[in-house]
């Protein structure tokens, strides 16, 4: 399979808007992100790019990029079979769906490239494009490429109405059945977090550097060590912030430096709320504990030290206001942070397991439900019968303000996970103690361990710190769920 990317994303562009005939002026449409597609042979896919231009007028964020990701496989299929869009028919749709379902990962030939749900998303996006193509170009020519059965179209689609929004979308009989996501709301286990922490620590130790990295260290040790220290600080803060606030990756990336310069005095962090179909994200404000402030200030100090070091070495990168930076001092993208986390998970030996940022979010929400059940019901060992629908709605509304969920209903599924925790630990107080106290000690042990190594402390101190970390992990392992 050709794995080269078929789209290019542009940041901060101006697309055609409208012309004011009366005043003879043109008004563009500024977009934070816009993507265009090309065929596998490198030629631009003009008709799809015209569709993406229209899509961008009614969407926000990186929607066009996601649409490009979705239809890339369809472009590859059409190019491989030497088909234009007007050549397609129901038979081709069935073959395309079959290919999407059986296609294997290029690095793991025994593993499917995508599951049924992903195939459905890809095909629904492609169907959306073909319906637009039909309306804009083929209807006027009397050609019926795609439509409902009564139109005798070459591709027959079936309308489907959303019972909640009333919106109508279209599907095809070739699409596979949906599958229930595995561990869809599974919280990130302690053991996974610990393995990722170990991998972050290992990658910061010059003794474990690969040969190519050691060559860079020899050529410019000052720059290399400055980059290494910053990347360590960035990764550790990423892990901590995900665990502490249950953020979406883009919310962490787009955290504002100016808004969070005074966290020590304000005891509050300001975070953007993404996934709201708005170019300008709403800001939510969360209260902080003293330990939280120390984590944030420590990272910002490391970040500032890194930028100062780059300036001293004659490297003055642009966009130094970005919260997360690359090793060159430029803004880190959400995609790059996600790939970096994936590399950490693989390096930690978590290759055949589901490990993703959303699991930190599930962990945070489950913990928040426990906290609010305790506050509202004022009991340590509640049962499900005590939770009436108004109580659940009240808890969901409180948590929604912290997580930025658009709908309270999407939080209901987490209550079962919270009660499972209560049954395991014996009560809410015990559960929250296990979440907070031991985690705090573990974070501090990991930080001191790195600090000693960085300052080349004596071996005895490092052995003691390693022993503390190991004891903490032993305690946590005894308290953890068997599935973890």
Predicted confidence at residue 1, as pLDDT, reads 38
Residue 256 and residue 112 in one domain: no
Say if residues 186 and 416 touch (Cβ distance below 8 Å): no
Residue 182 falls within a domain, yes or no? no
pLDDT digits (tens, 9 = 90+) for 118-168: 999 999 999 999 999 999 999 999 999 999 999 999 999 999 987 766 788
Q: Whose CA is closest to 220, among 90, 112, 330, 309? A: 309
Residue 177 falls within a domain, yes or no? no
Is 28 or 430 the better-scoring residue by pLDDT? 28
Within 146-247, residue ranges assigned H as helices are 190-204, 211-219, 221-245
Decide which of 107, 140, 171 is a domain's last residue.
Answer: 171
CA–CA separation, 349 and 283 (whole Å): 37
Residue 134, token pair as written in the block: 């039909």
Decide which of 107, 138, 171 is a domain's last residue.
Answer: 171
- Mean of the pLDDT values across residues 172-180? 87
CA–CA separation, 322 and 335 (whole Å): 15
**At 226, phi and psi to the nearest 5?**
-65, -45
CA–CA separation, 263 and 296 (whole Å): 8
CA–CA separation, 335 and 343 (whole Å): 12
Residue 49, token pair as written in the block: 């790019």
Residue 165 and residue 223 in one domain: no
pTM (whole model) above 0.85: no
Radius of gyration from C-alpha coordinates of the chain: 26
CA–CA separation, 436 and 243 (whole Å): 11
Helix 358-377 × helix 221-245 angle, to 10°:
40
* Cα 370 from chain centroid (whole Å): 25
Say if residues 71 and 126 touch (Cβ distance below 8 Å): yes
Residue 50 and residue 198 in one domain: no
Give 313's Cβ-side CA count (13 Å radius). Answer: 18
Residue 253 and residue 387 in one domain: yes
CA–CA separation, 297 and 269 (whole Å): 11
Residue 484 falls within a domain, yes or no? no
Say if residues 107 and 99 touch (Cβ distance below 8 Å): no
Nearest 5°: CA angle at 336, between 68 and 364? 100
Predicted confidence at residue 421, as pLDDT, reads 61
**What is the total count of domains within the chain?**
2
pLDDT digits (tens, 9 = 90+) for 230-244: 999 999 999 999 988
**At 189, phi and psi to the nearest 5?**
-70, 155
Residue 1 falls within a domain, yes or no? no
Residue 287 pairs with which residues in a beta bridge? 268
Residue 96 and residue 13 in one domain: yes
Q: By residue range, what is the domain housing residue 351?
A: 190-479
CA distances from 305 to 37, 103, 152 (A): 40, 47, 67
- Mean of the pLDDT values across residues 40-57? 92
Percent of the chain topping pLDDT 70: 76
Residue 158 and residue 225 in one domain: no
Residue 399 falls within a domain, yes or no? yes
Residue 468 and residue 367 in one domain: yes
Is 60 or 306 the better-scoring residue by pLDDT? 306
Residue 145 and residue 198 in one domain: no
- Mean of the pLDDT values across residues 380-405? 76
Residue 427, token pair as written in the block: 């009560």
Residue 181 falls within a domain, yes or no? no
CA–CA separation, 275 and 249 (whole Å): 11
CA–CA separation, 476 and 189 (whole Å): 11
Predicted confidence at residue 353, as pLDDT, reads 74
CA–CA separation, 227 and 204 (whole Å): 10
Confidence of residue 379 (pLDDT cuts 50, 70, 90): low
Kind plus residue range of the DSSP H or E element containing 385: none
Residue 342, token pair as written in the block: 């994936």
Q: What is the DSSP string of 55-79?
A: HHHT--TTHHHHHHHHHHHHHHHHH
Residue 141 and residue 240 in one domain: no
Residue 127 and residue 161 in one domain: yes
- Mean of the pLDDT values across residues 448-457? 62
Residue 200 and residue 166 in one domain: no
Confidence of residue 461 (pLDDT cuts 50, 70, 90): low
Residue 308 falls within a domain, yes or no? yes
CATH number at residue 210: 1.10.443.10
Residue 469 falls within a domain, yes or no? yes
Q: Is the pLDDT of residue 169 over 60?
A: yes
CA–CA separation, 280 and 482 (whole Å): 43
Residue 449 and residue 304 in one domain: yes
CA distances from 298 to 74, 91, 237 (A): 47, 59, 9
Predicted confidence at residue 390, as pLDDT, reads 80
Decide which of 171, 199, 231 is a domain's last residue.
Answer: 171
């Amino acid at each position: 399979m050709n794995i080269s990317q078929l789209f290019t994303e542009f940041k901060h562009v101006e697309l055609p808007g409208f012309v004011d005939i009366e005043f003879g002026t043109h008004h563009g449409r500024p977009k934070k992100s816009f993507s265009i597609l090309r065929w596998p042979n490198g030629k631009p896919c003009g008709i799809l790019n015209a569709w993406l231009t229209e899509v961008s007028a009614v969407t926000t964020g990186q929607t066009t990029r996601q649409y490009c990701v979705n239809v890339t496989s369809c472009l590859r299929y059409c190019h491989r079979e030497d088909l234009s869009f007007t050549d397609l028919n129901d038979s081709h749709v069935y073959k395309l769906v079959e290919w999407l379902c059986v296609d294997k990962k290029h690095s793991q030939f025994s593993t499917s490239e995508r599951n049924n749900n992903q195939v459905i998303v890809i095909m629904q996006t492609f169907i959306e494009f073909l319906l637009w193509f039909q309306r804009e170009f083929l209807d006027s020519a009397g050609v019926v490429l795609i439509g409902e059965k009564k139109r005798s179209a070459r591709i027959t689609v079936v309308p489907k109405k959303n019972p909640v929004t009333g919106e109508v979308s279209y599907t095809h009989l070739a699409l596979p059945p949906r599958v229930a996501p595995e561990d869809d709301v599974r919280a990130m286990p302690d053991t996974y977090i610990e393995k990722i922490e170990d991998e972050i620590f290992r990658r910061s130790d010059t003794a474990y550097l690969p040969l190519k990295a050691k060559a860079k260290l020899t050529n410019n040790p000052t720059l290399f060590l400055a980059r290494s220290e910053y990347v360590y600080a960035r990764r550790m803060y990423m892990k901590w912030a995900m665990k502490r606030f249950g953020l979406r990756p883009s919310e962490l990336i787009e955290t504002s430096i100016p808004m969070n310069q005074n966290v020590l005095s304000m005891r509050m962090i300001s975070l953007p709320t993404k996934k709201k179909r708005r170019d300008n994200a709403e800001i939510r404000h969360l209260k902080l504990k003293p330990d939280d402030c120390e984590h944030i200030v420590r990272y910002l100090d490391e970040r500032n030290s890194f930028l100062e070091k780059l300036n001293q070495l004659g490297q003055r990168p642009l966009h130094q206001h970005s919260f997360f930076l690359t090793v060159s001092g430029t803004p880190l993208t959400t995609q790059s942070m996600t790939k970096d986390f994936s590399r950490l998970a693989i390096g930690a030996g978590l290759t055949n397991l589901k490990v993703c940022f959303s699991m930190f979010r599930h962990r945070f929400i489950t913990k928040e439900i426990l906290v609010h059940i305790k506050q509202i019901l004022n009991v340590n060992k509640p049962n499900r019968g005590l939770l009436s629908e108004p109580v659940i709605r009240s808890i969901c509304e409180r948590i929604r303000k912290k997580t930025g969920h658009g709908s309270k209903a999407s939080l209901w599924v987490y209550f079962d996970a919270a009660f499972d925790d209560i049954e395991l630990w014996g009560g809410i107080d015990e559960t929250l103690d296990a979440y907070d106290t031991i985690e705090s000690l573990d974070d501090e042990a990991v930080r001191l361990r790195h600090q000693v190594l960085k300052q080349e402390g004596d071996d005895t101190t490092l052995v003691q710190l390693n022993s503390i970390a190991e004891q903490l992990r032993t305690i946590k392992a005894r308290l953890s769920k068997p599935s973890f």
